[in-house]
């Protein structure tokens, strides 16, 4: 599965006081996520993408894994 990024993307993931997950991104970040989710939808069950501050998210972000289940 190809993981592609739009130039200039910014994505931050956090958990709010109520325990909800907040994904905040600029236009390039949203387009990147949209493309990656489309690729994941076409991938095999069990495929997943890891996001964290070491490979894609802004510093201080909460790590996130998105997995295809069926």
- Predicted TM-score of the model (pTM): 0.90
Render each residue's pLDDT in the chain as its tens digit; 70 residues: 889 999 999 999 999 999 999 999 999 999 999 999 999 999 999 999 999 999 999 999 999 999 999 9
Q: What pLDDT, on a 0 to 100 scale, did the predictor assign at position 1?
A: 83
Q: What pLDDT, on a 0 to 100 scale, did the predictor assign at position 23?
A: 98
Three-point CA angle 3, 7, 13, nearest 5°: 65
Distance CA 27, CA 54 (A): 21
Sign of CA dihedral 58, 14, 11, 38: positive
Structure tokens at 65: 């894994």
How distant is the alpha carbon of residue 22 from its chain centre? 11
Q: What pLDDT, on a 0 to 100 scale, did the predictor assign at position 51?
A: 97
């Amino acid at each position: 599965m190809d993981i592609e990024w739009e130039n200039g993307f910014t994505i931050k993931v956090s958990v709010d006081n109520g325990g909800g997950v907040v994904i905040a991104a600029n236009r390039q970040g949203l387009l990147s996520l949209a493309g990656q989710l489309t690729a994941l939808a076409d991938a095999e069950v069990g495929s997943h993408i890891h996001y964290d501050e070491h490979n894609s998210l802004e510093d201080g972000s909460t790590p996130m894994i998105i997995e295809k289940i069926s």
